[in-house]
Structure 1
Amino acid sequence: MPALRDVPNQETQFRQLQAKLRDCAASIDLFDQDDFDILVIPSFSIDQGQLGKIEGFLHYEERLLFSLIRLRNPHTRLIYVTAQPLSPTIIDYYLQLLPGIPFSHARSRLLLLSTYDASLKPLSQKILERPRLVERIRKALRPGKSYIVCFNSSPWEQQLSLRLGVPLLACSPDLLYWGSKSGSREIFANAGVPHPDGSPLMWDEDSLLQEAAQLWGRMPQLKRLVIKLNEGFSGEGNAVLDLREVRKYGLIGTEGERVKVLRDRLSHLSFAAEGETWEGFSQRIPELGAIVEAFIEGEEKRSPSFQGYITPDGQVASLSTHDQILGGADGQIYLGCRFPADQQYRLQIQQLGIKVGEILAAKGAMERYGVDFIVVRHPGESPEWDIQAIEINLRKGGTTHPFMALKLLTNGEYNPETGLFVGQQGQEKYYLASDNLQKAAYHGLLPNDLMDIIARHRLHFDSSTKTGTVFHLMGALSEFGKLGLTSIGNSFEEAEAFYQKVEDVLDSETSANYYTLPSSPPLPISWYGGDY
């Protein structure tokens, strides 16, 4: 990636650009103010080795299509850039969700651009490699009335901001360490937020195993360790080392003996990414660094998350809490979420999330951030949930777009005192969301086919009741049989029913032609079960 230190004045120029956003910081949500030009760059600027493991990763650029709903503000203009062109059917679907705005009026204020490049490179890099495209974007943006939003910031987004002379509403890449695994642990320690015992950042296998042996020595009853690459996405980059087969032969005495046992167990690691091996995983350690942590065990175990917002002038606000739905061999892959998190702990994780946000704000961070937790309790011991923070995400995440869809479609407000979201008519709102409704039978469904099914079975979001289902990742349906959706209801039960209806209808519509094909398990509606 480009490094600003190579050009002495560019870091200062970037900070001066971002400082212009403070003039607009009277609102918690700058993104919802009218009469701005918004450049949306849904770039997944993450490690390419991990990006390639995400099936249909290019279509995750559709996650930020909820931002089209900003065109409900009559003077807002929006430029949306993607690697590959978006289907007109998908764009029409989002514009039809706009309340009270003629379709043609909204469409005239939307400019869609594409790099026509399906490679693994970050989208922002692809844009920078096309100077004519950069110039077209620059000419379309009004000076002093424009800003950039992105999925996550990196030196690529920073360079694009400088090339365009437009501020980036996101964390400076200089702060991204605080969203890494090791940076998160440092923030948690400084904020007094409970988190698992573990190691500092290591850069080679020998040092990592030595830290793991010391951790095992501190916690001799430990059943599992988790090794994490310092930069990961959606649970990718994690490996679990099971100690239970070793422990049944008795405790291992010296640190050197423990290192030897751990090294012998590396061939038995369980990886979050399917098909991963220690050989491939360990090759990334010198490049990315890695930590080792105690794996949190528990008979009753959940994975809630907090989402906060830091304004350009440093104010911290609560946005939401969620219970995440996780899958994979050891329950570390993000599949979906439900809103809000359970009332037994949602205000507690919100309080801890605010503590984290205050430290991040003091370091100069801005825009959305998330904090993932693990909560456990042991039946018969204590009714209280033990809360442990796992990591910080200095970016938009899997819980961002469903919550923004809820907020924009219902015009309601999140109440931080209760952790609930209330619509304009005083009705509480709940939802179940997923990026991973994926089955082999869905292969071959085009966006137009999905629209036909939605219309025929009345699966659409109802603007009169502010309930129903909103779809995303529609571009991934034909090739990967993969779809995203957010089902909004006036209760958890109603949201679950909307979600289940969509799945039942899609199964019925595709069973005649694909009944012989295997399918992946459906998203579990009983999200509180299992060992996450």
Structure 2
Amino acid sequence: MGKSERSPDRVADRFQTLQYQLRRCFRQRGPVKFDDFDVLVIPSLTLDQQQLEKIPGVHQYEERFLFSLTRLRNPKMRLIYVTSQPLHPSVIDYYLHLMPGIPFSHARDRLLLFSTYDSSKKSLTEKILERPRLVERIRQVLRPSQTYMVCFNSTPLERELSVRLQIPLLASDPNLADWGTKSGSRQIFGESDIPHPDGSPLVRTETDLAGEVAALWNRQPQLRRVVVKLNEGFSGEGNAILDLEPLRDVPCGQRVAAIRDRFSRLSFQAGGETWESFGSRIPDLGAIVEAFVEGEIKRSPSVQCQIHPSGEVEVLSTHDQILGGPDGQIFEGCRFPADEAYRLPLQTLGERVGQNLAAKGALERFGLDFVAVRRGDGEWDLQAIEINLRRGGTTHPFMTLQLLTNGQYDRATGLFYSQQQQPKYYIASDNLQKDCYRGLLPNDLMDIVADHHLHFDSCRETGTVFHLMGCLSQYGKLGLTCIGNSPREAQDIYDRVVAVLDEETRAIEPDEEQGEEMRSGDNVAAFPASKMSV
């Protein structure tokens, strides 16, 4: 009996055919990178919904891909953008006006917007697939031989949508997703000779997890803490810290039971997390344990790479990540580029991992996160933590810089240069969140930006590009990328934006007493100059 049209095997076969066509087309075109292709943007976070719920305004994160609108500076292409809820018109206008030299009406005519009109907690891709008429309307506007699809992360849902629309997906096959998990990352590190913390294989029971903690402790008796990680956690939300010091006097033969008893006292990185919730997902997702990397001077750099359809691995950027949470494991933002002391070694390690992934058939962007600890001799020790086989929090700010300046990343220095050969730097965050910003509408933000000249200056190619504007009114949350000609200028631009927003939102408070109440939330996820020192 043959395969049914909608069977998983049939979908997988058709997907492979589309991916093969994409790779063949790229090889035939040589250095041309799809300049005359249309792009279908599906900004779906198809991730564990329980973890996503812990991020305020997470479903507005579909706006993070709006930097893609600057692709419309190429007059040959169209961009099709799908969201759960319709985008605010002023948000669309804001991005389209970032492109000097392109008539607004010309760019707007080449932008096609679709919405599911669904605010439920399902992923966007799932919402689209549940609406066959919407799928058909999208398919009718596509040019099958000149359109490809991009997404945040690739799962069987994105694969099915690709097949239903009959266009290739510029992303890795979902069958390769395990290489982007915590356990898969550790296997890649071992195969690629990448330094990484001692740790465990994947386990799916509390008892096995406790046993792996005990085994790791026996191998490294000096350990003070270990990190317990859900296998498919992201942005640090699926991590927890286990303090071993209270168990120091427990005999080795009794440690497994004692460790299991202490799981209820884990220090969770996600707000509101409990062991009952965390532990309930271990049988399904699996978990690993790793040695916690200690150090008085410690940073969290990352490197981003791209695997082209041709198989070539390209280093795109390096960043120093800004982390928060109880033990500094929650991603809050980033600074570009990473410190010059280790940005070139990061590139080398990233390329090595990319070559391994490319040999396995991976495609498109991936990120590689590290912990860097400064040794007594002043050198930095780099330990790889995880592979993100998807776009991440560093993707949209770098592509924003790239598309706005039309500049180039220089592999020799690890710097980004504009067309005028001016090096560029930025600070970016998805988490500028304050209580006093609640109630601001996108139009209000545009008024403030115009009044105080906070916009991106296309002549100097410096200034601020905002995103996540849909989070402002309900959550008081905003994303921004502050671009400068030096690290100090990028910091100054960021500080001025925060100062102006603070002043503008406090100026309209009805009385001083209420203002003081609002000020009590001012330290949420802000980047003070001391934290962002350069």
Q: TM-score, normalised by structure 2?
A: 0.95
Tell me how far 1:180 sits from its aligned partner: 0.2
Is residue 2:50 matched to residue 1:49?
Answer: yes
Q: Is the 8 A contact 2:491 2:532 kept in 1?
A: no
Tell me how far 1:511 sits from its aligned partner: 1.2
Determine the structure 1 residue equivalent to 2:439. 444
In 2, the alpha carbon distance for the partners of 1:266 and 1:528 equals 34
In 1, the alpha carbon distance for the partners of 2:302 and 2:244 equals 28
Determine the structure 1 residue equivalent to 2:301. 304
Deviations for 1:313-372, whole angstroms, at most 9, x for unmatched residues? 211010000000000001011000000000000111111111100000000001000000
In 2, the alpha carbon distance for the partners of 1:43 and 1:520 equals 30
Determine the structure 2 residue equivalent to 1:245. 246
Say if 1:215 and 1:29 are closer, same or farther in 2 by CA, change over 3 A: farther
Say if 1:189 and 1:427 are closer, same or farther in 2 by CA, change over 3 A: same
Q: Which amino acid aligns with 1:440?
A: D
Q: Is the 8 A contact 1:85 1:114 kept in 2?
A: yes
1:16-165 superposed matches below 5 A:
16-25=17-26, 33-165=34-166
Q: Which amino acid aligns with 1:117?
A: D
Q: Secondary structure at the match of 1:113?
A: strand
Say if 1:453 and 1:362 are closer, same or farther in 2 by CA, change over 3 A: same
Say if 1:524 and 1:182 are closer, same or farther in 2 by CA, change over 3 A: farther
1:201-350 superposed matches below 5 A:
201-247=202-248, 250=249, 252-254=250-252, 256-350=253-347
Q: Which amino acid aligns with 2:190?
A: A
In 2, the alpha carbon distance for the partners of 1:185 and 1:62 equals 32
Tell me how far 1:54 sits from its aligned partner: 1.2
Q: Which amino acid aligns with 2:242?
A: L
Q: Which amino acid aligns with 1:215?
A: L
Is residue 2:497 matched to residue 1:502?
Answer: yes
Tell me how far 1:408 sits from its aligned partner: 0.6
Over the aligned positions, Cα root-mean-square deviation in angstroms equals 1.6
Deviations for 1:484-528, whole angstroms, at most 9, x for unmatched residues? 000000000000000000000000001131612231412243346
In 1, the alpha carbon distance for the partners of 2:260 and 2:133 equals 52
Q: Secondary structure at the match of 1:445?
A: coil
Is residue 2:467 matched to residue 1:472?
Answer: yes
Tell me how far 1:56 sits from its aligned partner: 0.2
In 2, the alpha carbon distance for the partners of 1:470 and 1:165 equals 34
Is residue 2:343 matched to residue 1:355?
Answer: no
Higher deviation after alignment, 301-310 or 7-16: 7-16
The counterpart of 1:414, out of the listed 379, 401, 409, is: 409
Q: Secondary structure at the match of 2:295?
A: coil
Deviations for 1:211-231, whole angstroms, at most 9, x for unmatched residues? 110001111110101100000
Q: Which amino acid aligns with 1:324?
A: Q
In 2, the alpha carbon distance for the partners of 1:24 and 1:101 equals 28
Tell me how far 1:22 sits from its aligned partner: 1.6
Say if 1:5 and 1:357 are closer, same or farther in 2 by CA, change over 3 A: farther
Determine the structure 2 residue equivalent to 1:393. 388
Tell me how far 1:119 sits from its aligned partner: 1.2
Deviations for 1:281-309, whole angstroms, at most 9, x for unmatched residues? 00000010000000110000000000000
Tell me how far 1:456 sits from its aligned partner: 0.2
Q: Secondary structure at the match of 1:231?
A: coil
Q: Secondary structure at the match of 1:233?
A: coil
Tell me how far 1:29 sits from its aligned partner: 8.9
The counterpart of 2:427, out of the listed 423, 432, 435, is: 432
In 1, the alpha carbon distance for the partners of 2:110 and 2:338 equals 37
Q: Is the 8 A contact 1:302 1:528 kept in 2?
A: no
Tell me how far 1:4 sits from its aligned partner: 10
Tell me how far 1:395 sits from its aligned partner: 0.6
Q: Which amino acid aligns with 1:296?
A: V
In 2, the alpha carbon distance for the partners of 1:425 and 1:240 equals 47
Q: Is the 8 A contact 1:5 1:11 kept in 2?
A: no
Tell me how far 1:448 sits from its aligned partner: 0.2
Say if 1:4 and 1:311 are closer, same or farther in 2 by CA, change over 3 A: farther
Higher deviation after alignment, 9-18 or 480-489: 9-18
In 2, the alpha carbon distance for the partners of 1:117 and 1:464 equals 40
Which runs of 5 or more structure 2 residues have no equivalent in the other structure? none
Say if 1:21 and 1:71 are closer, same or farther in 2 by CA, change over 3 A: same
In 1, the alpha carbon distance for the partners of 2:51 and 2:116 equals 22
Q: Secondary structure at the match of 2:338?
A: coil
Q: Share of identical aligned residues, percent?
A: 63
Q: Is the 8 A contact 2:320 2:336 kept in 1?
A: yes
In 2, the alpha carbon distance for the partners of 1:314 and 1:294 equals 34
Tell me how far 1:403 sits from its aligned partner: 0.2
Tell me how far 1:264 sits from its aligned partner: 2.7
Q: Is the 8 A contact 1:310 1:316 kept in 2?
A: yes
Determine the structure 1 residue equivalent to 2:169. 168
Q: Secondary structure at the match of 1:19?
A: helix
Say if 1:5 and 1:213 are closer, same or farther in 2 by CA, change over 3 A: farther
Q: Is the 8 A contact 1:17 1:165 kept in 2?
A: yes
Tell me how far 1:23 sits from its aligned partner: 3.5
Say if 1:5 and 1:89 are closer, same or farther in 2 by CA, change over 3 A: closer
In 2, the alpha carbon distance for the partners of 1:219 and 1:36 equals 54
Q: Secondary structure at the match of 2:425?
A: strand
Determine the structure 2 residue equivalent to 1:488. 483
Determine the structure 2 residue equivalent to 1:525. 529
Aligned length: 520
Q: Which amino acid aligns with 1:331?
A: G
Deviations for 1:238-273, whole angstroms, at most 9, x for unmatched residues? 1100112333xx4x442x311122123222210011
In 2, the alpha carbon distance for the partners of 1:242 and 1:433 equals 32
Tell me how far 1:10 sits from its aligned partner: 2.5
Determine the structure 2 residue equivalent to 1:456. 451
Tell me how far 1:33 sits from its aligned partner: 3.3
Q: Secondary structure at the match of 1:240?
A: strand
In 2, the alpha carbon distance for the partners of 1:73 and 1:497 equals 32
Q: Is the 8 A contact 1:19 1:312 kept in 2?
A: no
In 2, the alpha carbon distance for the partners of 1:388 and 1:528 equals 22
In 2, the alpha carbon distance for the partners of 1:448 and 1:10 equals 44
Q: Is the 8 A contact 2:206 2:260 kept in 1?
A: no
In 1, the alpha carbon distance for the partners of 2:342 and 2:532 equals 14
The counterpart of 1:377, out of the listed 374, 384, 388, is: 374
Q: Secondary structure at the match of 1:216?
A: helix
Q: Is the 8 A contact 1:228 1:239 kept in 2?
A: yes
Q: Secondary structure at the match of 2:145?
A: coil
In 1, the alpha carbon distance for the partners of 2:459 and 2:5 equals 50
Say if 1:111 and 1:13 are closer, same or farther in 2 by CA, change over 3 A: same
